[in-house]
Structure 1
């Protein structure tokens, strides 16, 4: 099973197929390819799968998904 996770773009560099961004996933920052989302800018949320941003996400959807992921994590701690 694969999982795509929303993250917020902190910075960008490069152009076209070499465009990269620093993306924050709840405080964990990773370098991500932004080649598939040329319209994404600093501050935007993107859905990331295996190191590639695959689509831009509006802030409400991103916050809702992050909330669900947080609740799942807390539930695992309580159940585990």
Structure 2
């Protein structure tokens, strides 16, 4: 199962403005934010992430609701977090 997971933008890489560090349930990873070039996220913004790409900006309430739902489904979310921990975008 593939999920869109909310993450909070922590920083935008100064040398790569298309890459941001995000926090997803305590896991920090670099993701590509290039698809959001018309409205680029800033630190503190929430994005919906799928396979290493930010697909859209979302507000914090939507992010919290999604995280609550994902936590409730258990294993599928745990599997996605494990895949995120093992991933890397350079």
Shorter-chain-normalised TM-score: which range? 0.7 to 0.9
CA distance in 1, matches of 2:19, 2:6: 16
Please provide the CA RMSD for this pair. 1.5
Runs of 4+ in structure 1 over 6 Å off: none
Q: 1:48 maps to what in 2?
A: 49
- Aligned residue pairs: how many? 71
Q: Which runs of 5+ in 1 are unaligned?
A: 75-80
1:37 aligns with 2:39: no
**If the length of structure 1 is used for normalisation, what is the TM-score?**
0.80
Quick one: higher RCO (CA 8 Å, sep 6+), 1 or 2? 2
Q: Which has the larger radius of gyration?
A: 1
Taking structure 2 as the reference length, what is the TM-score of the superposition?
0.72
The CA deviation at 1:2 is 2.4
